[in-house]
Amino acid sequence: MTLQGRKIAILIAPRGTEEPEFVQPREAVTRAGANVTVIGLEAGEAETFNNDLDPGGRYAVDAIIEGASASGFDGLIIPGGCVGADTFRASKAVVAFIREFFEQGKPVGVICHGPWTLVEADVVKGRTLTSFPTLQTDIRNAGGTWVDQEVVTDQGLVTSRNPKDLPAFCAKIVEEFAEGRHPAQARSA
């Protein structure tokens, strides 16, 4: 499956994004031919973590969230990491950016604690998704259906539970990004 010519955004928090959940999806869509833009809250570099505690690598931020628009991208990846996801959901700019993808019917891949951002963006109602198990009550309270599965796809939204699910998650986001817009996703946002 090719993503030649597709522009994919991937979020990274200043500190706290789970490294494999950032690196592996970025590599998967890049290998498939996509142009990837790393979007952060601050310019410069962002430090990732492993298991929310152990320092990971530092990665360059290509663009900051202020002024970013979903109209410039074909898809979005939201990595997890408890601290990173919590940082994302506290940012009005990030939440608005995420909501735009749903309003435009564009595919979104979210893993682990990342669905906290979907709850904050108010795009969970009526959808079936998975996440790190501790988020299941948040998802249900937001009107979604939580399931314990390796990967779940619902109208262009791809979700997975944790780094162990990355092979399935990466394959599915490439597939969904290749399919493009999902009109039903826009209607339910």
Residues with catalytic function: 112-113
CA angle, corner 73, sides to 169 and 59, nearest 5? Answer: 65
Phi, psi of 110 (to 5 degrees): -135, 135
